[in-house]
Structure 1
Amino acid sequence: MSSTLLGPPGVGKTHLAIGLGVEAVQQGYKVSFVTMDHLIQLLRTQEVTRSAQTKLKRITQSDLVIIDDLMFMAINRHEANLFFQLINKLYGQSSVIITSNKGPEDWGELLGDPAITTAILDRLLHKSEVIHLTGDSYRLKYRKTIFGND
């Protein structure tokens, strides 16, 4: 089972994902947490650095993989293909939790390839619970004094 946590910045997506990850660790599962930008860096450098290979191996051997800030930044076609290969490898063998401030309908423009986007969505959203979080940013809620709104 996988989950996709969607919503604007600051509503607690990462906090919830980490909480679920901690619970999984306490239950004896292997868990990996990685931000999307770090994951793309690992995928780009896996052919040339041992540390990237080691980290990716740890990710693919995890029972639960948490990918934070999916689609926060645009990625090129080669990176999208590498990401698809990873998701395809995880599909069916690991649970995946994804956080994103963009809905799946917006992922195509960030991936730049409709075919890869469809294949990634197919694997990520199949048997996935999609949870939409709404509300104001918790980070900004208590920082109104910064903006002079005492």
Structure 2
Amino acid sequence: MVSAHDMLTQLRASRADNSYERRLLRFTTPALLIVDDLGLRPLTGEEGMDLYEIVRRRYERAATCITSNRALEEWPPLFGDALLASAAMDRLLHHAHVLTIEGDSYRNPPLAKRTRAPRAAQVETAAR
């Protein structure tokens, strides 16, 4: 698992030392690549092209899981180019299983759920 930001930062840095192709292999060859938090921050420079290249090389060859707090409709502008976004989204969504999770945040549940004592603690207190 890699955050989208870390993956794209590594690829940007690899251009500087001419290790881009080798670094790209790190993200295109695993049987499963999990990219976390896509779209948390805007893509800059060639990051949209890098993301497309990863999607293109993995397409119908390996499994890719992408997590995002953005709706799918918000992804195309991330690429910065309509044609590039269309090509990437076509590949990403072909054969895809899209899961949309709605509800309270696991990390920050509503106050009412945070103040309730855990069930085990309630049972232990009642037994005393």
CA separation in 2, counterparts of 1:54 and 1:89? 13
Q: Which has the higher strand share?
A: 1
* Corresponding residue for residue 62 of structure 1: 30
What is the aligned residue count? 114
Greater relative contact order (CA < 8 Å, ≥ 6 in sequence)? 1
Of 116-125 and 101-110, the range deviating more from structure 2: 101-110
What TM-score does the superposition give when structure 2 sets the normalisation length? Answer: 0.76
Report which of the two structures shows the higher radius of gyration computed on alpha carbons.
2
CA shift in 2, pair 1:51/1:113, >3 Å: closer
CA separation in 1, counterparts of 2:37 and 2:85? 16
Q: CA RMSD in A?
A: 2.6
Return the offset for 1:51. Answer: 7.6
What TM-score does the superposition give when structure 1 sets the normalisation length? Answer: 0.66
Which string of whole-angstrom CA distances, capped at 9 and with x for unpartnered residues, describes residues 64-103 of structure 1? 0001011111113521112111111111111001101111
1:140 pairs with 85, 89, 108, which one? 108
CA separation in 2, counterparts of 1:129 and 1:61? 21
* Corresponding residue for residue 25 of structure 1: none
Structure 2 gaps of 5+ residues are 115-128
**Partner SS for 2:35:** strand
* Identity across the alignment (%): 31
**Partner SS for 2:15:** coil
Which string of whole-angstrom CA distances, capped at 9 and with x for unpartnered residues, describes residues 26-55 of structure 1? xxxxxxx11100011012122234887655
